[in-house]
C-alpha cells in the first residue's frame, strides 16, 4: 500500500499544482476535476449508504453531482451566455423529477425511499464539494484561497500521521487514542501535532500574501479541527458499512471520498470566512 501511495500522492500534488499555476489550462483542469470528483464522491457515498440499508440511486447521485459541478463552472467562467445554466437548484429539481418519472414508469414501489436517500447523499456529500468550488473563485490580494485551504487541511492529516506515529513509538505506554472504536490509530498527540502543522502552514501563507496574523492562526486552528471532524465522520460511516476504503480508484489511498473526507465541513466555515473577500 505504501509503495502505491508514493506514486499516487505526487500525482495528486501535480494535479493541484497544475490547477493553480497552469495559466492557460488551469481553469479547464479545475472544471474537469471538480466535475469528475463530485460525481465519484457522490457515487461512493451512495454505495456506502446502500451498505447500511439506506436506499438510494448511486448513478442518479453521480449524474446529479457531475451536472451541478459542470453547470457551476460553466457559469463562473462565463462559457455560456445563459445564467440559468449555473443554477444548481433548478438542475437538481429537473434531474430529481426526471428520475422520479423513470422510477414511476418502471413501476418500482421504493421511489420515496430512494429519492429521500439520494437527496440525503447530496446534502451530506455533494454540498461540501460544491462549497469548495465556490472557494476557488474567491481571492484576496492574489491569495489562491482554495490552495490555502487544501494545504492547511492536509497539513492536519500529515502532521497527525507523523506525530501520532512518533508518539506511539516514543511515549511510555504509547499515545492516547481519541476514538478507538471509530479510528484506532488517531491520537490526541497526533491531533496536537497536526494542528501545529496546520497553523504553521497558515502562517506561511500569511507571510507570503500578507494579512492579520491572528486571523491566520484562527483559520489554521479551526480548519484543522474541521479536518479531524470530517475524517472521523467518514471513518464512522465506513465502519458501519463494514469497508476499509470507500472505493479503489486511487492506488494505495482508496477512493475520492477517502482523499477528500477532511473537507466535509470546511466549506461551511469558509462561507463565513473573511479571507478572500
Q: What is the pLDDT of residues 236-263, one digit of tens each?
A: 888 888 888 777 777 666 778 888 888 9
Percent of the chain with pLDDT over 70: 81
pLDDT of residue 95: 64
Rounded to two decimals, the pTM is: 0.83
CA distance to 182, 189, 196, 239, per residue, from 158 (Å): 19, 13, 11, 22
Q: How many CB atoms lie within 10 A of CB 63?
A: 17
pLDDT band at 85 (very low <50, low <70, confident <90, very high): very low
pLDDT of residue 86: 47
Q: CA-to-CA distance for 42 and 219, rounded, in angstroms? A: 27
Q: CA-to-CA distance for 123 and 116, rounded, in angstroms? A: 11
Percent of the chain with pLDDT over 90: 16
Q: Are 127 and 267 in contact (CB under 8 A)?
A: yes
Radius of gyration (C-alpha) of the chain in whole angstroms:
20
Q: CA-to-CA distance for 46 and 28, rounded, in angstroms? A: 27
Q: How many CB atoms lie within 10 A of CB 107?
A: 7
pLDDT band at 215 (very low <50, low <70, confident <90, very high): very high
pLDDT of residue 133: 84
Q: CA-to-CA distance for 253 and 106, rounded, in angstroms? A: 38
pLDDT band at 197 (very low <50, low <70, confident <90, very high): very high
pLDDT of residue 91: 61
pLDDT of residue 269: 92
Q: What is the rounded end-to-end Cα distance, in angstroms, of the chain?
A: 41
Amino acid at each position: 500500500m505504501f509503495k502505491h501511495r508514493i506514486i499516487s500522492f505526487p500525482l495528486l500534488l501535480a494535479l493541484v499544482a497544475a490547477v493553480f499555476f497552469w495559466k492557460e489550462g488551469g481553469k479547464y483542469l479545475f472544471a474537469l476535476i471538480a466535475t469528475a470528483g463530485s460525481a465519484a464522491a457522490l457515487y461512493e457515498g451512495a454505495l456506502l449508504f446502500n451498505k447500511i440499508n439506506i436506499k438510494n440511486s448511486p448513478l442518479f447521485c453521480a449524474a446529479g453531482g457531475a451536472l451541478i459541478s459542470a453547470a457551476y463552472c460553466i457559469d463562473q467562467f462565463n462559457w455560456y451566455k445563459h445564467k440559468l445554466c449555473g443554477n444548481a437548484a433548478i438542475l437538481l429539481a429537473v434531474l430529481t423529477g426526471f428520475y422520479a418519472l423513470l422510477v414511476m414508469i418502471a413501476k418500482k414501489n421504493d421511489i420515496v425511499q430512494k429519492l429521500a436517500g439520494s437527496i440525503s447523499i447530496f446534502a451530506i456529500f455533494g454540498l461540501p464539494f460544491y462549497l469548495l468550488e465556490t472557494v476557488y473563485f474567491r481571492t484576496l490580494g492574489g491569495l489562491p484561497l482554495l490552495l490555502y485551504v487544501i494545504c492547511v487541511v492536509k497539513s492536519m492529516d500529515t502532521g497527525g500521521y507523523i506525530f501520532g506515529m512518533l508518539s506511539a513509538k516514543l511515549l511510555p505506554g504509547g499515545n492516547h487514542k481519541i476514538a478507538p472504536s471509530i479510528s484506532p490509530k488517531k491520537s490526541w498527540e497526533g491531533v496536537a501535532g497536526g494542528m501545529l502543522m496546520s497553523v504553521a502552514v497558515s502562517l506561511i501563507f500569511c507571510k507570503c500574501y500578507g494579512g492579520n496574523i491572528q486571523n491566520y492562526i484562527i483559520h489554521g486552528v479551526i480548519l484543522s479541527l474541521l479536518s479531524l471532524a470530517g475524517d472521523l465522520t467518514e471513518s464512522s460511516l465506513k465502519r458501519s458499512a463494514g469497508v476499509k476504503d470507500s472505493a479503489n480508484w486511487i492506488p494505495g489511498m482508496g477512493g475520492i471520498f477517502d482523499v477528500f473526507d477532511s473537507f466535509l465541513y470546511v466549506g461551511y466555515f469558509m462561507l463565513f470566512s473573511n479571507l478572500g473577500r
